[in-house]
Amino acid sequence: PSLTETQRAQIEAERLAKWICDAGLQKMRARCWREVAILCPRKAWLRAIRDALLEQQIPVEVQSESDRQAEHPAYAWLTALLAIMVDPNASYEIVGVLREVFGISDDELARFAQGDGHKFQIEQKTTGRGVVAGRLNLLRQVRETLPHQPLFSAVREIVRMAQLRERLRTLPREEFGNSANDLEKLLSAAAAAEARQESLADFALTLRRNFNTTRETEPAEADAAQLITAHKAKGSEWDTVIVPFLAREARLGGNIRYPLVISGEQPFIAFDRSDRADLEDEMKKVQRQEMERLLYVALTRARHTLVLAFDADFFRGKRGVHSDTQLKWLQADTNDANAEIMSALSDEAMACEKTAARHEEWAPESVADSLTALRLETGWVDIARQRAASIIKTITPSQFAPEEESTETPSTEEWVEIEPELRPPRIDNPATRYGVWWHDFAEQIPWWSEPKKWNQTFERNLAASPEIARSKREWQLLQNQIESADGLGRHLRDANLVRQEMPFFWRMAEHKCLEGIIDLALFEAQRIGKRSLG
């Protein structure tokens, strides 16, 4: 019976996986599975190989299934969450979060909207019941907690309330890699952005601008066969390289990124599809030359063993093998220049005692050691950030205050719609509200200016205080302390640099660090002075 191209590719992948399993590492002359790479010119071709290898219980890691940052869930999901926190009426992005992060079906979304896309907002409370309304109100609650938090704390709170870490862990690792580790890197980036005094909007904009940037190939994290595109294999080597799908059509001309420079006697820049109507052949030529270069890369990555899947019979049509194939670019089809050389190659893998002895002399570096060295390049501060979520419990002073009974009891349906882990941890009490007001007021004080402007800032914020009389008393006490002989005023005058809301990690022991926020940091010429206002 006639089979589709996809079905033929699946059969080849299954036979190739069986051959790899039977040959084993010794006959392929590879030290371990991560020294075996399977290279394809197209990302989409990797999936069939991956499934077939897993069926044979061969460990596999897909390095190139996602080239762009946007194609990695941790990056895409966090970027989308930050975008809607900055713009609560971004209905398009909100729908994306509901679909991709929370897994709500298109049917549920359509029935909720009833043709009105403006319903997807998190600025105001959404009335009604159902999973969509519940998630929108959850996102609104998250957004309301952010104004008084520094950048890193805000991003971490978004991750916690959306259960982003738990959702990423449910994704198949062999397909998406270590998504949890990707998230930790983004949290470290948020901490670094906070140190540069960036806002949540600034950080969200940075992530969006880098949405389509290409990720670099990272070292293998596990002892697993590496599936990677030839494009991303540049500069890398493996003991064994396998190149499948030699006779499968690469389909040139369909996947073109603009703007595209077309070289020739008269160089031309195509900005969109309409610009290439009369240059179709020239553009295919450019692509064909690029594919030939990628084939050269694939054929020169092996240290010991190069395996070519001679599959002309799998994909040969009525007119023979298609011209846009690796087999044709290699000139190895029937009657081509390299056909005789190709047919003379051995179809059996054989072990080599000399290679095996060399492998024993040069034992591969353990993956754990490799990753430790990689982390150490960033210093102990970044290591602390990476581990903070799992080893550090954060306690704030407001947690010691007695809880206040809620004046409004939410309906049973509202609590059912929100997952237990995502419910607000506690109800605001008077101490918390006053502390938030004082903290917000202190952030606005221009400490580097004259004291007169400090009073103006206080008067401007006083009306919003939940305890006006207390605010006046404590502001007077603070002013007295500032004006005393050894008070804050003298340190402010001696300071070379003043920083508010400065995050810090303070090393306390080999595996322990103190994380916090310095309300007001004064940097002097010979020492650092720190003063806290709350």
Neighbours of 431 (CB within 10 A): 16
Residues 171-181 have a mean pLDDT of 77
The answer to whether position 385 is within a domain reads no
The verdict on 51 and 89 lying in the same domain is: no
The answer to whether position 268 is within a domain reads yes
> Among 209, 230, 258, which residue terminates a domain?
209
The verdict on 436 and 345 lying in the same domain is: no
Residue 134 and residue 417 in contact, taking contact as beta carbons nearer than 8 Å: yes
Cα 424 to Cα 141, 160, 183: the distances in Å are: 8, 11, 23
Residue 228 and residue 37 in contact, taking contact as beta carbons nearer than 8 Å: yes
E-assigned strand segments in 184-310:
225-229, 238-243, 260-262, 268-270, 302-308
Q: What are phi and psi of 72, to 5 degrees?
A: -105, 125
- Cα–Cα distance measured from residue 204 to residue 393, given in angstroms and rounded to the nearest whole number: 26
The answer to whether position 175 is within a domain reads yes
Q: What is the pLDDT of residue 220?
A: 54
The verdict on 345 and 458 lying in the same domain is: no
CATH number at residue 229: 3.40.50.300
- Cα–Cα distance measured from residue 517 to residue 527, given in angstroms and rounded to the nearest whole number: 19
The answer to whether position 372 is within a domain reads no
> Among 191, 209, 227, which residue terminates a domain?
209
The verdict on 170 and 123 lying in the same domain is: yes
Higher-pLDDT residue of 517, 174? 517
The verdict on 253 and 302 lying in the same domain is: yes
Q: pLDDT (tens digit, 9 = 90+) per residue, 26-81?
A: 999 998 998 999 998 888 888 899 999 999 999 888 875 445 677 788 989 999 99
Give the three-state DSSP class for 153: helix
Say yes or no to pLDDT of 162 above 80. yes
The verdict on 52 and 164 lying in the same domain is: no
The answer to whether position 373 is within a domain reads no
The answer to whether position 367 is within a domain reads no
The verdict on 351 and 236 lying in the same domain is: yes
E-assigned strand segments in 56-170:
60-62
Residue 117 and residue 91 in contact, taking contact as beta carbons nearer than 8 Å: yes
Q: What is the pLDDT of residue 534?
A: 45
CATH number at residue 134: 1.10.486.10
Number of domains in the chain: 3
- Cα–Cα distance measured from residue 154 to residue 140, given in angstroms and rounded to the nearest whole number: 14
Note if the pTM is more than 0.85: no
The verdict on 237 and 200 lying in the same domain is: no
Give the three-state DSSP class for 238: strand
The answer to whether position 381 is within a domain reads no
b or e along 399-422 (b: 16 or more beta carbons within 10 Å of the residue's beta carbon)? eeeeeeeeeeeeeeeeeebbeeee
> Among 361, 382, 412, which residue terminates a domain?
361
The verdict on 204 and 88 lying in the same domain is: yes
The verdict on 226 and 276 lying in the same domain is: yes
Q: pLDDT (tens digit, 9 = 90+) per residue, 319-375?
A: 777 778 888 888 887 788 888 888 888 888 888 888 888 777 665 444 444 444 434
Residue 519 and residue 501 in contact, taking contact as beta carbons nearer than 8 Å: yes
- Cα–Cα distance measured from residue 406 to residue 475, given in angstroms and rounded to the nearest whole number: 30
Residue 162 and residue 49 in contact, taking contact as beta carbons nearer than 8 Å: no
The answer to whether position 383 is within a domain reads no
264 — alpha (psi -120 to 50), left (phi > 0) or beta?
left
- Cα–Cα distance measured from residue 501 to residue 520, given in angstroms and rounded to the nearest whole number: 6
Neighbours of 290 (CB within 10 A): 13
Q: What is the pLDDT of residue 313?
A: 79
Cα 244 to Cα 56, 150, 295, 311: the distances in Å are: 17, 51, 11, 8
- Domain carrying residue 197: 71-209
Residue 325 and residue 250 in contact, taking contact as beta carbons nearer than 8 Å: yes
The verdict on 132 and 59 lying in the same domain is: no
- Cα–Cα distance measured from residue 233 to residue 218, given in angstroms and rounded to the nearest whole number: 11
The verdict on 188 and 249 lying in the same domain is: no
Q: CA angle 305-307-311, nearest 5°? A: 170
Residues 101-122 have a mean pLDDT of 89
